[in-house]
Structure 1
Amino acid sequence: MLLVLSPAKSLDFDSPVPTGKFTQPGYLDDSAKLIETLRQKSPEDLSQLMHISAKLGELNFQRNLNWQIPFDTSNARQAIYAFTGDVYLGLDARALNQKDMAYAQNHVRILSGLYGLLRPLDLMQPYRLEMGTSLQHDNNSNLYQFWGSRLSEGLNQAMAGHKSRTLLNLASNEYFRAVDKKVLDADIISPVFRDYKNGQYKIISFFAKKARGMMAAHVIKNRIDSPAGICEFDMAGYRYSAKDSTATAPVFLRKQA
Structure 2
Amino acid sequence: MIAIISPAKSLDFESQPPTQKYSQPAFLNEAGRINHQLKQLTEKDLIKLMGISAKLATLNLERNQSWSPPFSPENAKQAIYAFNGDVYEGMQAENFSPDQIDFAQDHLRILSGLYGLLNPLDLIQPYRLEMGSKMAVDGQKDLYQFWKPTLTNELNKQLAAAGGVLINLASAEYFKAIDTKKLKGTIITPEFKDNKEGKYKIISFYAKKARGLMCRFIIENKITEPENLKAFDLGGYYFNNDLSSGNKWVFTRDL
What is the TM-score with the length of structure 1 in the denominator?
0.97
Deviation above 6 Å: which 4+ runs of structure 1? none
Alignment partner of 1:220 is 2:181: no
Distance in 2, matches of 1:196 and 1:97, equals 34
Deviation at 1:184, TM superposition (A): 1.2
Map of 1:5 onto structure 2: 5
Alignment partner of 1:174 is 2:166: no
Distance in 2, matches of 1:225 and 1:39, equals 41
Map of 1:184 onto structure 2: 183
Map of 1:68 onto structure 2: 68
Structure 2 counterpart of 1:113, which letter?
Answer: G
* Partner SS for 2:187: strand
Map of 2:42 onto structure 1: 42
Distance in 2, matches of 1:244 and 1:200, equals 12
Structure 2 counterpart of 1:60, which letter?
Answer: N
1:6-65: CA deviation from partner (whole Å, max 9, x where unpaired): 000000000111111100000000000000101111011101111111111111000000
- Considering only aligned residues, what root-mean-square deviation do their CA atoms show, in Å? 0.8
Distance in 2, matches of 1:107 and 1:246, equals 25
**Does the 8 Å CA contact 1:106/1:158 hold for their aligned counterparts?**
no
> How many residues in Structure 1 have an aligned counterpart in Structure 2?
255
Structure 1 counterpart of 2:249, which letter?
Answer: P
Map of 2:108 onto structure 1: 108
1:77-126: CA deviation from partner (whole Å, max 9, x where unpaired): 00000000000000000111000011100100000000000000000000
* Partner SS for 2:217: helix
1:90-169 pair list within 5 angstroms? 90-162=90-162, 164-169=163-168
Distance in 2, matches of 1:138 and 1:23, equals 26
Distance in 1, matches of 2:85 and 2:183, equals 27
Distance in 1, matches of 2:39 and 2:119, equals 26
* Partner SS for 2:133: coil
Distance in 1, matches of 2:246 and 2:95, equals 31
* Partner SS for 1:89: helix
Distance in 2, matches of 1:222 and 1:170, equals 17
What percentage of residue pairs aligned between the two structures are identical? 50
Structure 1 counterpart of 2:116, which letter?
Answer: G
Deviation at 1:247, TM superposition (A): 2.6
**Does the 8 Å CA contact 1:3/1:169 hold for their aligned counterparts?**
yes
Map of 2:231 onto structure 1: 232
Map of 2:252 onto structure 1: 253
- Name the stretch that deviates more: 233-242 or 145-154: 145-154
Deviation at 1:160, TM superposition (A): 3.4
Map of 2:31 onto structure 1: 31
Distance in 2, matches of 1:49 and 1:119, equals 27
Structure 1 residue runs without a partner (length 5+)? none
Distance in 2, matches of 1:154 and 1:189, equals 18
**Does the 8 Å CA contact 1:165/1:185 hold for their aligned counterparts?**
yes
* Partner SS for 1:242: coil
Deviation at 1:251, TM superposition (A): 0.6
Structure 2 counterpart of 1:78, which letter?
Answer: Q
- Name the stretch that deviates more: 197-206 or 68-77: 197-206
Structure 2 counterpart of 1:41, which letter?
Answer: L
Distance in 2, matches of 1:157 and 1:119, equals 14
Distance in 1, matches of 2:170 and 2:41, equals 29
Map of 2:194 onto structure 1: 195
**Does the 8 Å CA contact 1:149/1:183 hold for their aligned counterparts?**
no
* Partner SS for 1:109: strand
Deviation at 1:161, TM superposition (A): 2.7
Structure 2 residue runs without a partner (length 5+)? none
* Partner SS for 1:243: coil
